[in-house]
Amino acid sequence: MTAHSNIYPTKALQDLDAAHHWHPFSDMKSLNKEGSRVIIRADGVWLTDSEGNRILDGMAGLWCVQVGHGRKEIADAVYRQMNELAYYNTFFKTTHPPVIALSEKLAKLAPDHINTVFYCSSGSEANDTVFRMVRTYWDKMGKPDKKVIIGRWNGYHGSTLAGTSLGGMKGMHAQGDLPVPGVHHIDQPYWFGEGHEMSPDEFGVHAARKLEQAIDEIGEDKIAAFIAEPIQGAGGVIIPPETYWPEIRRILKERDILFVSDEVICGFGRLGEWFGSTHYGMEADLMPIAKGLTSGYLPMGGVMVSDRVAEGLMLAGEEFYHGYTYSGHPACAAAALANLEIIEREGLVERVKSDIGPYLKERWLKLGDHPLVGEARMTGLVGALELVPDKKNPHKPFREVGAAGVICRDTSFGNGMVMRAVRDSMIISPPLVLTHEEADFLVATVEKTLDDTY
């Protein structure tokens, strides 16, 4: 128990929170009226709130707690590192053992053509780094006109100016003159929402060809990179049709532009492979990473860089004017190493691929029979349900889009489970250690929540 939770009842904590704490991505007026949920501690896939309720963390925090909560082994590794060297920077030709060991480990886990990591503290910073890397790379290659980066509408790449610009969240762009110049967006491969007049396979090819059209319109000699999440997470777990990535692969092979696979959600086992791009047979030039790198125990991100880009950019013999005070932070590196050690030792990636992933998927897809569900989809351990007002006309949205999602999300919390609402899709992304029993609880709770919402 924290000091505050011992001393104050929930209401007092909520009032104190409302008085001084501005929450990210939150409507503070309604939050202050209702009061925040106060989470006191967590263990495995279970959260405990200030009222003593046990709640299944169906979102692994924010898509990040791969190894589950309360791993003493990670806390101990961080404690040891903090006693040895709590902080030193990696600027100006200095380094330290944990960042050396982590870099070696990541290079081993990555596909063969990726052997270098640049560190930062979050996924957003990773994509800021990507922004500068791809443009500087082409400068060094003698092609300074190659500056445009192509992203996708409804993609999410973080909340800094670069991340927001690369992402395709129109609400975030509306905050003022965004995206920054030199970013172009193409349509997303969202069959249920935008492509159902074609078969999924036809639509997959159609959506991928938007990239080819954009390259032709803008000019290949002006384009630096294409950035995409293997599966769009924050956009609503948009799992592309099977034809999508093969067609993108064909296009990228024919064109001289870099491919950035944003692995912030899909990396570290979420799709049953170490990286989401490998799940789809894609070869990335750059891979922004964060979240599952430390399972969220400490903030850390990075960009994994292919030999092609590393040789062109890093080894060009000039300084790359970029870096953060906390790039390669020793305690965060120690947390990452301990986390990766658990993922490997417990075979969590393989478990998602051949055990808990298929087990949960089989049960999750059956939720598609519920009268409120227009589509159930899942890959690895990330899934969505599309709520619809009329099952006979499944692509017709609710009159007030998002309202059913919010009701369903809040009801699920009351029923003992966290899920997320994106518009009217209900999202799950549980820790990779979820047991079969917990998966059964998860599905039963979602079913009850749908019944309560219906």
Which lies closer to ligand PLP via its Cβ, residue 128 or residue 386? 128
Q: Residues 6 or more apart from 214 whose CB is under 8 A from it?
A: 150, 184, 186
Cα–Cα separations (whole angstroms), residue 277 to 76, 263, 274, 343, 372: 32, 8, 9, 19, 32
Nearer to ligand PLP, 158 or 168 (CB): 158
Query: What is the Cα 333 distance to its own chain's centre?
Result: 20
Token code pair at residue 48: 């405990």
**Cα separation, 384 vs 374, whole angstroms:** 11
Q: How far is the CB of 124 from ligand PLP (least distance, A)?
A: 3
Q: Which of 66, 102, 127, 125 is nearest to 262 (CA)?
A: 127
Residue 134 — φ and ψ, nearest 5°? -70, -35
The backbone torsions φ and ψ at residue 225, rounded to the nearest 5 degrees and listed phi first, read -160, 160
For residue 195 the two structure tokens come to 């492509």
Minimum CB distance to ligand PLP, residue 121 (Å)? 8
**For ligand PLP, the closer CB: 69 or 157:** 157
Alpha carbons 138 and 135: distance in angstroms, whole number = 5
Nearest residue to ligand PLP, scored by beta-carbon proximity: 123
Q: Which is nearer to ligand PLP, 227 or 426 (CB)?
A: 227
Residue 40, C-beta contacts closer than 8 angstroms, at least 6 positions apart: 1, 2, 5, 48, 49, 50
Which residue, 158 or 357, has its beta carbon nearer to ligand PLP?
158
State whether residue 189 is helix, strand or coil. coil
CA 27, distance to chain mean position in Å, is: 22
Nearer to ligand PLP, 179 or 312 (CB): 179
Whole-number minimum distance, CB 319 to ligand PLP, in Å?
25
Handedness of CA 120, 122, 123, 125 (dihedral sign): negative
Phi and psi angles of residue 382, each rounded to the nearest 5 degrees, phi first: -140, 130
Residues near ligand PLP (CB under 6 A): 122-124, 127, 156-159, 163, 229, 233-234, 262, 264-265, 290
In the complex, the smallest distance separating the C-beta of residue 263 from ligand PLP, rounded to whole angstroms, is 8
Q: Which C-beta is closer to ligand PLP: that of 102 or that of 298? A: 298
Q: Residue 124 or 277: which CB sits closer to ligand PLP? A: 124
Shortest CB 122 distance to ligand PLP, Å: 3
Residue 234 or 284: the one with the smaller Cβ distance to ligand PLP is 234
Pairing of strands 148-152, 420-422: unpaired
Q: How far is the CB of 230 from ligand PLP (least distance, A)?
A: 9
Shortest distance in whole angstroms from residue 403 CB to ligand PLP:
23
Closest distance of CB 125 from ligand PLP, Å: 7
Q: Which two tokens stand for residue 426?
A: 């209900």
CB of residue 290 vs ligand PLP: minimum separation in angstroms? 4
Which single residue is written with the structure tokens 């007092």? Answer: 12
